[in-house]
Amino acid sequence: MKNGSAMTVTMKKTTLIYDASCPVCSKTVKWIEKNEVKDSFLMLPCGSDSLNMQFPAVDRAACSQAIHLVLPDGTIVRGEKALPEIFKRLRRYRLIAVLFRLPGAAIVSRILYRWFADRRYRVSKFFHMSR
- Mind giving me the DSSP string for 15-81? EEEE-TT-HHHHHHHHHHHHHBSTT-EEEEETT-TTHHHH-TTS-HHHHTTS-EEE-TTS-EEEGGG
What is the C-alpha separation between 22 and 50, in angstroms, rounded?
19
Domain annotation covers residue 122: yes
- Residue span of the structural domain in which 53 resides: 14-126
In a domain, 5, yes or no: no
Backbone angles phi, psi at 31, to 5 degrees: -65, -40
Asked if the structure places residue 81 within a domain, the reply is: yes
Q: What is the pLDDT of residues 19-70, one digit of tens each?
A: 999 999 999 999 999 999 999 999 999 999 999 999 999 999 999 999 999 9
Any domain includes 3? no
Q: How many domains does the chain fold into?
A: 1
* Separation of alpha carbons 63 and 43, rounded Å: 13
Residue 112 lies in a domain: yes
Q: Give the pairing of strands 14-18 and 41-45.
A: parallel
> Model-level pTM?
0.85
Q: Is residue 4 part of a domain?
A: no
- Is the pLDDT at 1 greater than 50? The verdict is no
Question: Domain for residue 6, yes or no?
Answer: no
Per-residue pLDDT, 131: 59
- The answer to whether residue 7 is domain-embedded is no
What is the average pLDDT across 2-17? 60
